[in-house]
């Protein structure tokens, strides 16, 4: 996973460097809420995003290595298995994030080139809407892997209730996975329907917050049930 992630990240940087050779010196760099171009700048500013993608890849690599080392160092078999499962999930997350931002960079470059060549005053590509759709896809993909995590302090739905024991963790993250996938589907549908990318972004944020709140309530319920179950067993 790490090699693929780094390959995608470097594709973003190398691809951008190649495309910049064919771009005008000045290109659109910022837009207002209505999509009007409100700032032009040097085409080389487009290198900033690929560099950030590489920095993000470095972060994920360090996180993955931490759990890889942990899986080898710890003597407890259960803890070792937990670290290994988190390595897999982090690998998927890092790969998805790199791919999402690389695709987004491609749309940014296409839009900037089209607008600069045509002398446009508005965006040719609504980057806000593209990012919302990509984020919705990420929610769906990540939801499919949330259930594969073990208790940890980095990935998954992590609150004191869900992390009480393996049972509360499994149930909370399974429910949270379904909730975030529904939020992803809603995000994509709304982004396609709405013309305003700001509105789509707000709906996406609202859907994620709602998914978190509902999962939080469910997690607390599972926690209370677990406590009652444990108390019942003590009395037997």
Say whether pLDDT at 99 is over 60. Answer: yes
More confident residue, 81 or 188: 188
Contact 28, 123 (CB under 8 A): yes
Contact 1, 9 (CB under 8 A): no
Number of domains in the chain: 2
Q: How confident is the model at residue 189 (pLDDT cuts 50, 70, 90)?
A: very high
Say whether pLDDT at 88 is over 90. Answer: no
More confident residue, 236 or 230: 230
Q: Report the pLDDT value the prediction gives residue 236, as an integer from 0 to 100.
A: 47
User: Are 113 and 141 in a shared domain?
Assistant: no
Which tokens hold the place of 28?
Answer: 């659109």
User: Are 132 and 179 in a shared domain?
Assistant: yes
Phi, psi torsion values for 29, nearest 5 degrees: -125, -15
Say whether pLDDT at 76 is over 80. Answer: no
Return d(Cα 144, Cα 97) in angstroms, integer. Answer: 15
Question: CB atoms < 10 A from the CB of 54, how many?
Answer: 15
Q: Report the pLDDT value the prediction gives residue 27, as an integer from 0 to 100.
A: 94
Nearest to 157 by CA among 224, 88, 89, 77: 89
Mean pLDDT of 64-78: 81
User: Are 159 and 112 in a shared domain?
Assistant: no
List beta partners, residue 40.
Answer: 28
Say whether pLDDT at 77 is over 80. Answer: no
What whole-number percentage of the chain has pLDDT above 90?
Answer: 50
Average pLDDT score over the chain: 88
Question: CB atoms < 10 A from the CB of 207, how many?
Answer: 21
What whole-number percentage of the chain has pLDDT above 70?
Answer: 97
Mean pLDDT of 13-28: 95
Residue 60 sits at the vertex; the CA angle it makes with 29 and 125, to the nearest 5 degrees, is 25
pTM of the model: 0.79
User: Are 199 and 211 in a shared domain?
Assistant: yes
Say whether pLDDT at 235 is over 80. Answer: no
Torsion region of 111: left, alpha or beta (phi above 0 gives left; psi -120 to 50 gives alpha):
alpha
Say whether pLDDT at 170 is over 50. Answer: yes
Say whether pLDDT at 213 is over 60. Answer: yes
Instruction: Look at residues 124, 147, 166 and tell me which one is the last residue of a structural domain.
Output: 124
pLDDT in tens, 101-152: 999 999 999 999 999 999 888 888 888 889 899 999 989 988 887 777 777 7
Instruction: Look at residues 73, 92, 124 and tell me which one is the last residue of a structural domain.
Output: 124
Return d(Cα 61, Cα 68) in angstroms, integer. Answer: 10
Contacts of 134 (CB under 8 A, 6+ apart): 100, 103, 104
Phi, psi torsion values for 149, nearest 5 degrees: -85, 155
Instruction: Look at residues 80, 100, 124 and tell me which one is the last residue of a structural domain.
Output: 124
Domain extent at residue 33? 1-124
Which tokens hold the place of 223?
Answer: 């926690």
User: Are 79 and 145 in a shared domain?
Assistant: no
Mean pLDDT of 56-60: 93
More confident residue, 163 or 82: 163
Say whether pLDDT at 181 is over 80. Answer: yes
């Amino acid at each position: 996973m790490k090699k693929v992630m780094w390959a995608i990240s470097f594709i973003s940087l190398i691809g951008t460097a190649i495309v910049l050779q064919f771009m005008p010196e000045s290109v659109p760099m910022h837009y207002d809420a209505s999509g009007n171009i409100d700032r032009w700048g040097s085409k080389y500013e487009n290198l900033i995003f690929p560099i950030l993608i590489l920095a993000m890849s470095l972060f994920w690599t360090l996180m993955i290595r931490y759990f890889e080392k942990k899986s080898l160092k710890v003597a407890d078999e259960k803890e070792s298995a937990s670290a290994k499962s988190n390595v897999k999930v982090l690998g998927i997350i890092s790969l998805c994030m790199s791919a999402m931002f690389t695709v987004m960079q491609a749309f940014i470059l296409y839009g900037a080139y089209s607008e600069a060549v045509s002398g446009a005053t508005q965006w040719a590509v609504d980057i806000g809407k593209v990012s919302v759709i990509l984020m919705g896809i990420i929610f769906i993909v990540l939801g499919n892997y949330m259930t594969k995590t073990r208790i940890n302090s980095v990935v998954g739905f992590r609150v004191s209730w869900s992390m009480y024991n393996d049972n509360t963790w499994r149930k909370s993250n399974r429910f949270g996975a379904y909730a975030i996938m529904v939020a992803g589907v809603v995000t994509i549908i709304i982004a396609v329907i709405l013309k305003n990318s700001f509105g789509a972004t707000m709906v996406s944020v609202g859907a994620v917050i709602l998914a978190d709140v509902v999962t939080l309530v469910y997690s607390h319920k599972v926690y209370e049930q677990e406590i009652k179950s444990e108390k019942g067993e003590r009395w037997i």
